[in-house]
Chains A and B, each alone.
Chain A
Amino acid sequence: MGAFGIIKNLAKLRLAYKFEFFGSLIFSVLWVVLLAVIWKSVFFFSNLESIKGFTLQDLVFYYIIIQLIRFGTDVDISYRVEQLVRYGNFIPLLLKPLSFPAFCFLDDLSEKLVNIFLKIIPTFLVFVILFGLPPFTLSSFFFGIISSILAYLLMFLIDFMLSTLIFFTKSSHGILDFVQTGMHLIDGILFPLIFLPENVYSGLLYLPFPYLSYFPALVFLNKADFLQVLGFQLGWLLLFLPISFFLWKISLKRIEGVGI
Chain B
Amino acid sequence: MKRELKVLWRFFRIRLEEEMVYRLNFLLLLSSFVIHDLFGPVLTIVVYQVSKGFPGWSFWEALVLQASAIIVEELWFFFGSRVLFELERAIASGKFDFYLARPLSPLFLLFSSSCFPYGLFTLFVGIFILGYALPNLPITLISLLFYLLFLGSGFLFLLSLTILFSSISVFVVRNRPLRNAMFMLILYGKYPTNIFPKVFRIIFTFILPISLIAYFPAKAVLGKLFGVSSLIPFSISVLFFVISLLSWKVAIKRYSSAGG
Mark A residues whose CB is within 8 Å of B. Answer: 20, 23, 26-27, 30-31, 34, 37-38, 40-46, 48, 51-52, 169-175, 177-178, 180-182, 184-185, 190-191, 195-197
Q: Would you call B50 and A52 a contact (CB within 8 A)? A: yes
Q: Would you call B43 and A190 a contact (CB within 8 A)? A: yes
Known: A31-B187, A178-B35. A191 touches B46 (CB 8 A): yes
Q: Would you call A174 and B22 a contact (CB within 8 A)? A: yes
Residues from chain A with Cβ under 8 Å of B141 in the complex = none
Q: Would you call B39 and A190 a contact (CB within 8 A)? A: yes
- Quick one: which of B25, B49, B188 contacts A171, CB cutoff 8 A? B25
Q: Which residue of A lies closest to B44 (CB)?
A: A38
Residues from chain A with Cβ under 8 Å of B46 in the complex = 190-191, 195-196
Q: Which residue of A lies closest to B43 (CB)?
A: A190
Q: Would you call B47 and A178 a contact (CB within 8 A)? A: no
- Quick one: which of B43, B51, B54, B177 contacts A48, CB cutoff 8 A? B51
**How many interface contacts (CB-CB < 8 Å) are there between A and B?**
98
Q: Would you call B27 and A174 a contact (CB within 8 A)? A: yes
- Quick one: which of A41, A177, A182, A184 contacts B55, CB cutoff 8 A? A41
Q: Would you call B28 and A178 a contact (CB within 8 A)? A: yes
Residues from chain A with Cβ under 8 Å of B172 in the complex = none
- Quick one: which of A20, A31, A46, A170 contacts B51, CB cutoff 8 A? A46
Known: A42-B47, A42-B53, A46-B51. A178 touches B191 (CB 8 A): no
- Give bound CA distance, A70 to B196, whole Å: 26
Interface residues of B in 158-211 (CB under 8 A from A): 176-177, 180, 184, 187-188, 191, 195-197
Q: Would you call A38 and B191 a contact (CB within 8 A)? A: yes
**Is there a chain A Cβ closer than 8 Å to B3's Cβ?**
no
- Give bound CA distance, A41 to B51, whole Å: 11
Given contacts A37-B191, A174-B26, A178-B28, 19 further A-B contacts (CB under 8 A): A31-B187, A34-B187, A38-B47, A38-B195, A41-B55, A41-B195, A46-B51, A48-B51, A170-B22, A170-B25, A172-B25, A174-B22, A174-B24, A174-B27, A174-B28, A174-B32, A180-B32, A184-B39, A197-B49
- Give bound CA distance, A44 to B194, whole Å: 13
- Quick one: which of A30, A172, A178, A195 contacts B32, CB cutoff 8 A? A178
Known: A42-B54, A171-B22, A190-B39. A178 touches B180 (CB 8 A): no
Interface size class of B (residues with CB under 8 A): 35 or more
Shortest CB distance A128–B (Å): 21
- Give bound CA distance, A137 to B197, whole Å: 33
Known: A34-B191, A178-B35. A173 touches B25 (CB 8 A): yes
Residues from chain B with Cβ under 8 Å of A191 in the complex = 43, 46
Q: Would you call B25 and A23 a contact (CB within 8 A)? A: no
Known: A45-B51, A174-B28. A182 touches B22 (CB 8 A): no
Q: Which 8 A-B pairs have CB atoms at the shortest separation, nearest pair first? A: A174-B28, A174-B25, A41-B195, A46-B51, A177-B32, A45-B55, A46-B52, A181-B32
Q: Would you call B36 and A27 a contact (CB within 8 A)? A: no
Shortest CB distance A140–B (Å): 24
